Amino acid sequence: MSELLARHRAVMPSWLSLYYDEPIEITSGKGVRLTDADGNTYLDFFAGILTNMLGYDVAEVREAVERQLATGVVHTSTLYLLRGQVELAEKIARLSGIPDAKVFFTNSGTEANETALLLATCARGSDQVLAMRNSYHGRSYGTVAVTGNRGWKNSALSPLNVHYLHGTDRDGRAFRAMSDAEYIDACVADLRDVLATATARDVACLIAEPVQGVGGFTMPPPGLLAAYKEVLDEEGVLFVSDEVQTGWGRTGTGFWGFSEHGITPDAITFAKGLGNGLAVGGVVARGDLMDGLTANGVSTFGGNPVAMAAANATLDYVLDHDLQANAARLGPVMLDGLRPLTDAAAVGAVRGKGLMFAVDMVDPGSGAPSPELAAAVLEETRRRGLLIGKGGLRGNVLRVAPPLTVEESDVREARDILAEAVREVDARVR
């Protein structure tokens, strides 16, 4: 064990996840590559944790942050006017597509979702909330409550009354045998049933990720979110789209994960990529919802000037370079290269949307999800100079989400390394 790892284990919580048998200490980054303390370089195809959506040491972001630092105004809280905050809010309100939208900035995705839940429950005067099975929305009291993934649950009492809907992970044999249309009908029937039998018909909102991130990049069949939204509208239930992983063009099918579903949420939550590594999150919501809170509000660090400088520069870069189009163009290059892996006995499925890809690792004998094989592939990709993620409800999903700035040569290199690593692990267990 390295000296730093021993010190980490001594003073940091045992439940903080660390990748790899010998965790990596990253010391620098440039473009889509990182360097560790031993001088090894890696292609980072997890973009930090979908945080560095432009990659590392991007001049436009670095210079914007340096300019802000040079003013000496590092923190003023929300008690004073901040130009960068207003400018960023204007951009996000416009991009949200929500009429009369207003924005509140936070420091993380967890806080963003907590705020959205507060807006919705206060607006409806109800603690009843719908969430999806296999979801992840954060690690606070309210957001753990709406997280439908046992790996991230704690058994504390929840401040919310949560009912879980079927969603992107077709848990259950009967669901897997259905066509998309049959599955959507079954999900909608279940939603109506939940509303009629398990609630007092005063549900505040549904919170959902258009592609479930921590859940293993699972995707709903086209039409599911629109079908849910129709029922929600009938009942006056608000829809919160958690875009912490799917925002800013990552899915390639629109600026937000929900875009391709032809729906407009009442609130959108965001974080991760916006500050290109700096802590920025927030909620953009209908103005009446945002202004509906009657209590005073302040955020000490949310919307701080340094984070705003990074976020404005990052968002401008995304738009100026049309990175959504890059995600749409390069997604198929990766996916077409990964699809042949489905003939490996240790691979259950391969899927992708834009620059989000997943490979499910399974036991070749039983077909059961195999977190061990996923971990083995991660060690192999690392050995070959590629960083990717893992996750999923059962811990067996390889997750790939590079910076949106990747070039075709990076994608081909990563795709070949990943395919080689999967084949190597597959051959070991045949």
Site for ligand PLP in 306-325 (CB under 6 A): none
**Residues 102 and 284: beta-carbon distance below 8 Å:** yes
Residue 138 sits in the site that holds ligand PLP (CB under 6 A): yes
The DSSP secondary-structure symbol of 259 reads G
User: How far is CA 220 from each of CA 180, 181, 212, 385, rounded to the nearest angstrom?
Assistant: 9, 11, 9, 32
Residue 244 sits in the site that holds ligand PLP (CB under 6 A): yes
Specify the residue, 131 or 341, whose C-beta has the smaller distance to ligand PLP: 131
Helix (H, G, I), strand (E, B) or coil at 357: strand
Indicate the helix (H) or strand (E) that contains 27.
Answer: strand 26-30
Q: Which residues contact 427 (CB under 8 A, 6 or more apart)?
A: none
Would you list the DSSP string of 79-129? GS--HHHHHHHHHHHHHH--TTEEEEEESSHHHHHHHHHHHHHHHHT--EE
What six digits make up the tokens of 257?
């994960």
Residue 169 sits in the site that holds ligand PLP (CB under 6 A): no
Residue 137 sits in the site that holds ligand PLP (CB under 6 A): yes
Residue 211 sits in the site that holds ligand PLP (CB under 6 A): no
Q: Which of 245, 251, 276, 405 binds ligand PLP (CB under 6 A)?
A: 245
Specify the residue, 206 or 347, whose C-beta has the smaller distance to ligand PLP: 206
Task: Decide the pairing of beta strands 347-353 and 397-400.
Answer: unpaired
Q: Taking the complex as a whole, how short is the minimal distance between the CB of residue 327 and ligand PLP, in angstroms?
A: 17
Q: Which of 242, 266, 380, 413 binds ligand PLP (CB under 6 A)?
A: 242
For ligand PLP, what does the binding mask look like between residues 334 and 363, x meaning CB under 6 A?
A: ------------------------------
Report the side by side order of strands in the sheet with 33-36: 26-30, 33-36, 41-44, 386-387
Residue 47 sits in the site that holds ligand PLP (CB under 6 A): no
For ligand PLP, what does the binding mask look like between residues 266 and 295, x meaning CB under 6 A?
A: -----x---------x--------------
User: How far is CA 136 from each of CA 14, 25, 119, 144, rounded to the nearest angstrom?
Assistant: 20, 26, 19, 8
Q: Which of 108, 149, 168, 218 binds ligand PLP (CB under 6 A)?
A: 108
Q: Which of 109, 142, 216, 275 binds ligand PLP (CB under 6 A)?
A: 109
Residue 114 sits in the site that holds ligand PLP (CB under 6 A): no
Angstrom distance (rounded) from CA 44 to CA 389: 10
Specify the residue, 132 or 344, whose C-beta has the smaller distance to ligand PLP: 132
Interface region with ligand PLP, contact rule CB under 6 A, candidates 56-64, 105-113, 168-176, 378-386: 105-113
Specify the residue, 88 or 214, whose C-beta has the smaller distance to ligand PLP: 214
What six digits make up the tokens of 207?
């919170």
Catalog residues that contact ligand PLP under the rule CB under 6 A.
108-110, 113, 136-138, 209, 213-214, 242, 244-245, 271, 281
